């Protein structure tokens, strides 16, 4: 687990590579999603694993959905951040198991709402992140990115993006 992100548990190593892994994780905690810059890759739960291979690390990430255009930028951001920290790294993208919004941290959901994006809520009535009203309607299945839908609040009349549940 990275921070309080409920993504698959990142294994802990008791060997000499643990220091390198800890350094890499400390660097990666600041890598943000380019489409939603208030969230880190750890907040989103797309950071799946960091493993040590000799004097380098392998970072495993999973896209929020297949074909996510942000993954290329995220890969470059990960490599750049680790290179600046003097850590040799390789980034691997895995598609299975598929990412789910269940891997998002509670902190991520709070950050989304504060940013004006309704967080994913299974089985709950969607609340407007601007005024808190549950009197909302979907305008379009696609919002500013494919992982969000466009909604409108009937109470405050403002449009807003809502993160889709996966």
pTM of the model: 0.83
Band of residue 15 on the pLDDT scale cut at 50, 70, 90: low
* Nearest alpha-carbon partner for 33 in 48, 43, 24: 43
Q: Residues spanned by CATH 3.30.300.130 within the chain?
A: 18-101
- Identify which has the larger pLDDT, 152 or 145: 152
Higher per-residue confidence, 90 vs 124: 90
How is the beta sheet containing 148-153 ordered, strand by strand? 117-118, 159-163, 148-153, 136-140
| pLDDT recorded at residue 9 | 43
Give percent of the chain with pLDDT exceeding 70: 90
pLDDT tens across 37-56, in order? 999 999 999 999 999 999 99
Section 59-72 average pLDDT: 91
Q: Which two tokens stand for residue 90?
A: 């390789």
Band of pLDDT at residue 85, cut at 50, 70 and 90: very high
What homologous superfamily does CATH list for 18-101? Fe-S cluster assembly (FSCA) (3.30.300.130)
Listed range (3-7, 41-45, 123-127) with the worst mean pLDDT: 3-7
Q: Is 128 exposed, middle or buried (0-12, 13-18, 19+ CB in 10 A)?
A: buried
């Amino acid at each position: 687990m990275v921070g309080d992100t409920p993504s698959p548990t990142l294994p802990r190593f008791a060997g000499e590579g643990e220091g390198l892994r800890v350094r890499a994780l400390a660097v990666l905690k600041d890598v943000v999603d380019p489409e939603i810059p208030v969230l880190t890759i750890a907040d989103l739960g797309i950071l799946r694993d960091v493993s040590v291979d000799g004097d380098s690390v392998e970072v495993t990430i999973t896209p929020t959905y297949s074909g996510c255009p942000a993954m290329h930028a995220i890969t470059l951001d990960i490599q750049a951040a680790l290179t600046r920290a003097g850590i040799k790294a390789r980034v691997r993208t895995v598609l299975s198991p598929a990412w789910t919004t269940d891997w998002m941290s509670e902190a991520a959901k709070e950050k989304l709402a504060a940013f004006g994006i309704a967080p994913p809520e299974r089985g709950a009535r969607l609340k407007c992140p601007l005024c808190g009203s549950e009197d909302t309607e979907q305008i379009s299945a696609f919002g500013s990115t494919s992982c969000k839908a466009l909604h409108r609040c009937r109470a405050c009349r403002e449009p807003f993006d809502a993160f889709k549940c996966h």
